[in-house]
Structure 1
Amino acid sequence: MLPDDAALEAPLTVVISNSTTSGTSFTWTTGGTLSSSTAKEPTITFSKAGTYTINLTASNGKKTKSVEKSITVKPGTGIYSVTDVSLGINTASSTIGSFYSTSLRKTIKSTDVLTPTLGAAIDIVFFGLDPTFALNKFVSPTKVQEYTFDAIPGARATSWMSTQTLLSVDAFDAINDDTFFKGLSNAAIVDDPLYFSNEKVPRVLLFLTADGRKGR
């Protein structure tokens, strides 16, 4: 099962990965909503939290076998947390990587083949001037060419707020749902030109992606 939301929170859509060999017909049953009960790899949508059973019966006209799996869907918080992401300074963009995609949930290196589709998925770019991290900035993917990187094909804008007037570290640590972000207007996250040094850790930098997602 491959969920489209790694947090496993409702509402959740799961893409089924079917490893059946020699099967010619399939029948699925589950407490969720199936895109098809007879497709080889349907999607299942779970609108509410709970533990659900997914049953597959496969046949090749000679033998019929069934397998059962369960999935626990958590209550929806509207937020997704990513930890332990490493991003390098500009000279490490080809080794550690300076780009990150929140939708793909992975770091992207400058040596990766950046197609317009992959480029459009990049929404976080880190620029560090040197190994001392004395001068740093998160920049929009549409502006990377201004910071020693090659232009990203298909790039979409991300606004970054380097000042911490809207959300303190303590306030951020207390967040357990999306109430704060829902109450924060898009216009409040103003793209500012400020750099930050290595003097204050941790920092809270708010961002707004091109498709309207807010985060820190």
Structure 2
Amino acid sequence: MKNIIYIISVLSLFGCAKEEAIPVIVDFDVEVFNNDFSIPVQVVFFNKTEGGEEYEWTFKGGTPSRSVNRNPGVIQYNQKGAYTIELTATNEDGSRDTKTLEIQIDDPVIVDFEITNLVDNFSPASYRFQNNSSGADTFLWTFEGGIPEISTEQNPGEVIFTESGNHTITLQVSNGRETYEQQKIITVAPFLVSDFDFEVAFDDDDFQIPAHVHFKNRSVSATSYEWRFEGASSFMSTEENPEVIFVQEGVQTIHLTVSNGKETKTISKQIEFFKNTNLRELKDVRFGINTAHITNSIGAFYSTADRKIYAKNEITSDIEKRIDLPFFGLSDTFTRNRFVSPDALSGTTFDELTDPKKTIFINSQELCGCSAYLTVTEFDSMVDDTLLESLTIQETPGGLQDFDDTLAPRIVLFKTQDGKKGAIKIKSFIRDGQQSYILTDIKIQKGSR
């Protein structure tokens, strides 16, 4: 009886309860990839709806444009515009809710600009800037070192740069949500400087006229040149690096005026030229004995054209043709010494030369039996080639004789194949074993008369 009463009571309780419907509350979040609203734009939607069981998404202008999934995945927008996103959710209780959201899709923001140099890049340098950007509506230009230094115009006017060097140009563009920038560098040339160096030709390095001088332009930011020369065969030149022959003695002035179309500057320098003595003096020339020459420590073959002594390992087929003064010193005792014609090396321990020159030597003036004779005093006092020109230098058996070290200083006369006369003053005999040598001064005509 008690059980029957309990069942009736329970049934009465449930019969009195009222069922309530579950409400649908729609909500969702939106996330734009990389926060980039410039097409193409990819958007992800996160459904936060409560109470929903079925969903209807519509994406106007999107791909795809519809979805019935709770979370529809990635939606892509490929055209600029304002688009509505709508989510409707329902459940089996008949509850329904909708939420809409508008999203703004922008054109892509592209930043780009061109630079035009109006005249040239010499200070003051003027430039114009062409804005090729797109998708932006605000602009900020920064011109490092420029006048003006900042502009917010889409295409700024002329900008002037007065300081030389590199200047960074920055363009920053924005569409209100995204900002991009680009930088480029312009180089303003240094201020105009007028300057030059000069180099005298090898054979004219004593500055005796006529002297060939090559001028090396060291000017900065110059586009035109005007040279003026005193005492030269040419009075003026517009070449960048002219070569000029000076024909007058004394201090001569060289003027260089340069311009770049904006500035003009002039510099002047002086060079002193001397009377032509037709005499070249070569000091402290060392001729090694044969062992020094062969072991390449001190050469024994001299070229008057090169003004250089050569050891065995330095002599090439080209150098062989320029050797004038070979010296043969038998040993460090200096008992047998002589200068030998390049074409007569067979009587020495030296290798013979290919296509050798012929040089006449008077090694022993005291044994020569000829009229040519030059004293040490006369050698030292020579300031031109007058004495040498007056000598008749001939080859004789006596003049070819060896000499020893009992007389120092002593004079050896010679005449080269091209007719130049000269004299060698042997100042001392230096004993240093296999590296022994004679120390000499040489005076030779620059050219035969």
1:208 counterpart residue number: 415
TM-score between both structures, scaled by the size of structure 2? 0.43
2:353 counterpart residue number: 152
Q: Does 1:5 align with 2:204?
A: yes
CA spacing shift, 1:132–1:46, aligned 2, 3 Å = same
Structure (1/2) with the larger strand percentage? 2
What is the CA–CA distance in structure 2 between the aligned matches of 1:34 and 1:110, rounded to whole Å? Answer: 44
- Is the CA contact 1:35–1:44 (under 8 Å) kept in the aligned structure 2? no
What is the CA–CA distance in structure 2 between the aligned matches of 1:121 and 1:35, rounded to whole Å? Answer: 36
1:35 shift after superposition = 10
Letter in 1 for 2:336: L
CA spacing shift, 1:62–1:76, aligned 2, 3 Å = same
Letter in 2 for 1:207: F
1:113 shift after superposition = 4.5
1:133-152 alignment runs, 5 A limit: 133-152=334-353
1:97 counterpart residue number: 299
1:114 counterpart residue number: 316
TM-score between both structures, scaled by the size of structure 1? 0.84
1:33 counterpart residue number: 233
Unaligned runs of 5+ in 2: 1-198, 367-372, 424-449
CA RMSD of aligned residues (A): 2.6
2:51 counterpart residue number: none
1:18 shift after superposition = 4.2
Letter in 1 for 2:357: R
What is the CA–CA distance in structure 2 between the aligned matches of 1:159 and 1:147, rounded to whole Å? Answer: 17
- Is the CA contact 2:359–2:417 (under 8 Å) kept in the aligned structure 1? yes
Letter in 1 for 2:305: S
1:77-92 alignment runs, 5 A limit: 77-92=277-292
- Is the CA contact 1:189–1:206 (under 8 Å) kept in the aligned structure 2? no
Say which is worse superposed, 143-152 or 29-38, in terms of deviation. 29-38
Q: Does 1:123 align with 2:324?
A: yes
Q: Does 1:52 align with 2:252?
A: yes
1:15 shift after superposition = 3.0
1:125-181 Cα offsets, whole Å, 9 max, x none, are 111101222211111122234322222334211111112251122222232222112
Q: Percent of counterpart pairs with the same letter? A: 37
What is the CA–CA distance in structure 2 between the aligned matches of 1:81 and 1:42, rounded to whole Å? Answer: 29
Letter in 2 for 1:126: F
Letter in 1 for 2:269: K
Say which is worse superposed, 60-69 or 9-18, in terms of deviation. 60-69
What is the CA–CA distance in structure 2 between the aligned matches of 1:36 and 1:95, rounded to whole Å? Answer: 49
What is the CA–CA distance in structure 2 between the aligned matches of 1:108 and 1:18, rounded to whole Å? Answer: 35
What is the CA–CA distance in structure 2 between the aligned matches of 1:146 and 1:42, rounded to whole Å? Answer: 50
What is the CA–CA distance in structure 2 between the aligned matches of 1:193 and 1:129, rounded to whole Å? Answer: 15
Q: Does 1:172 align with 2:379?
A: yes
Bigger relative contact order (CA 8 A; separation at least 6):
1
Q: Does 1:161 align with 2:362?
A: yes
Instruction: Look up the SS of the partner of 1:82 in the other structure.
Output: strand
Letter in 2 for 1:147: T
What is the CA–CA distance in structure 1 between the aligned matches of 2:210 and 2:377, rounded to whole Å? Answer: 29
CA spacing shift, 1:21–1:11, aligned 2, 3 Å = same
Unaligned runs of 5+ in 1: none
- Is the CA contact 1:35–1:43 (under 8 Å) kept in the aligned structure 2? no
1:70 to 270, 295, 314: 270
CA spacing shift, 1:132–1:179, aligned 2, 3 Å = same
Aligned residues: 213
